Amino acid sequence: MHGPSDRAAATADPRRSWRAAKRREELEARARAAAHAGDALGASRALLLISMLSDEGGALPLLPHVARLCFHSSAVHLERLSRLNRALYGVLECLRLDESHRLKAEQEALTAMFDLYRAQALEYLAGDGCANFEAARYTVQAAFYAVFSRLRLDGVLGEQTQEVLGVVDDFLHCVQLSVGNEVVHAMPDLEKALQQYGLKPI
């Protein structure tokens, strides 16, 4: 037989547990950090998780807005490009640190990955939505050109490629922050919710 306390524990709302409270604190700290950094994408993800831990059904009104930002906006496309950038950077760093890895590396595959990243980054920057970032496009174009000029001489992607990846990632991250904030600004309910965590209005 189960006593009243056992039944109460079985039917208790897990969103009111101490674990949920601790998780909410962590997510609120994450939302504040992202909002203060101008990262609308990261702050929105944290806000959605916070809403789901609430027992007031707060997630439902915000769900379409967060879904639009996190799954269909240019900001999330740029985030995927950033992951590809860092994967390439990490592979090149391994090759730099260990000569035996460099000998085994498929340079053609690495070059193809780099070229894919280059093409996607430039395609995005050349789009109509990036008219405000024309200067960044020319800078990124020049950086990629320098890598391929060096590649024709050396036949391999070297340290210069890592430097270029770092510069391009910084440029695209700035574009991502700007685009994410523009998308949020077009959705007043989400913008108001994020401003409570410190996101600055445009």
Q: Could you report the per-residue pLDDT of 121-136, keeping only the tens digit for each?
A: 999 888 877 878 888 8
- Residue 8 covered by a domain: no
Q: Which residues of 84-103 are buried (b: 16+ CB within 10 A; e: fewer)?
A: bbeebbebbeebeeeeeeee
Domain limits at 66?
Answer: 14-73+187-195
- Same structural domain, 179 and 84: yes
- Same structural domain, 79 and 177: yes
Q: Could you report the per-residue pLDDT of 22-46, keeping only the tens digit for each?
A: 999 999 999 999 999 999 999 999 9
pTM over 0.85, yes/no: no
- Residue 69 covered by a domain: yes
- Residue 1 covered by a domain: no
- Same structural domain, 62 and 80: no
- Same structural domain, 93 and 132: yes
Among candidate residues 103, 123, 104, 125, the one with its CA nearest the CA of residue 115: 123
C-alpha radius of gyration, the chain, whole number = 22
Contact 139, 125 (CB under 8 A): no
Domain total of the chain: 2
Integer Cα distance of 166 and 162 in angstroms:
6
- Same structural domain, 90 and 174: yes
Record the tokens describing residue 141, joined without a space. 């174009």
